Amino acid sequence: MLIRYLLLFAFLMVSSVGAASEVQLYLETGRVKVKNQGKVRFLSHSDPLNPLIVELELGEQVLTGKNTRARIKMRGKEEEIRLRVDTLFKVNSLDSDQTEVEMPTGKARFKIKRKLNRKKKQRRKFNVRTVTALVGVRGTEFVMGTSGASTRLLTLAGSVEMAAVAAPEIKVEVSIGEASKLDVGKAPTPPITVPPALQNSIVESDSADTFGEVSFPPAQDLEEAVAEQKEKEEAQKEEEQEEEEQGTN
């Protein structure tokens, strides 16, 4: 009987550790502030070869300081986010079908790996929310910088979909080697190809200011884009109705 209790206790301990380690912060160098429901803790470290590993709870906000290198790892090796300086980041949910995170300010590099779920015949979604943008991926690598009023994105592998928070139906698909920008009150800019040298500069820089070197095309006003989208949808419905009527005659 004692052996059974010990085995059960060991199993529960392993299960709880596994559940608690769904989100981990790897602090390589610098300082971060972790906040959750009024509770604040400060962490500092200075050994990049042996990072400080801290388990995070869902909803905890992480704010990186100056000269800081930190990573967020989720679901083992499936999801990794490299946070740059002065970045505010939070994991909202880790569901079986999707991951939801927020990054109101700062810069980060995302590496998202996805395996096909054979039962559901689809891959788990990964969504990022900023003040202006909704970003959705199913397996890719990209760099994103946001200052609150503006979100800029460069895709390094695969493709990423970026939409306006105020109008999720207004979106663009940003493929490998392309970048797009989304400002308050505007639709996402059409994706533009970024030269390799400038891509490297954006990836390596701590600041999101390097996105300013990209010559983004003009962006359409969001209200105009929404109105055009509605007109297209209405026209498409009319065409479908006409085809149905012709098919019944």
> What confidence tier does 15 reach under pLDDT thresholds 50, 70, 90?
very low
CATH class of 80-227: mainly beta
Average pLDDT, the chain: 87
Structure tokens at 68: 């800081």
Give 64-76 pLDDT, tens digit per residue: 999 999 999 998 8
DSSP code per residue over 195-238? -HHHHHHHHH-SSGGGGGGS-PPPPPBHHHHHHHHHHHHHHHHH
Q: What tens digit of pLDDT does each residue of 33-62 get?
A: 999 888 999 999 999 999 999 999 999 999
Q: Please give the structure tokens belonging to residue 88.
A: 């505010």
**Per-residue pLDDT, 101:** 96
Average pLDDT over residues 177-189: 96
Per-residue tokens: 162: 């970026």
Which tens digit of pLDDT belongs to each residue from 117-167? 555 567 788 999 999 999 998 789 999 999 889 999 999 999 999 999 999
The CA distance from 114 to 100, in Å, is 15
Cα–Cα distances in Å, from 194 out to 18, 177, 182, 199, 214?
41, 6, 16, 6, 7
Query: Would you state the pLDDT for residue 117?
Result: 58
Condensed to tens digits (0 to 9), the pLDDT of residues 84-112 reads: 999 999 999 998 888 999 999 999 999 99
CA distance 122 to 137: 12
Looking at residue 116, its pLDDT comes to: 56
User: What global pTM score does this model have?
Assistant: 0.84
Tally of helices (H runs) and strands (E runs) in the chain: 3, 16
Cα 247 from Cα 157, distance rounded (Å): 44
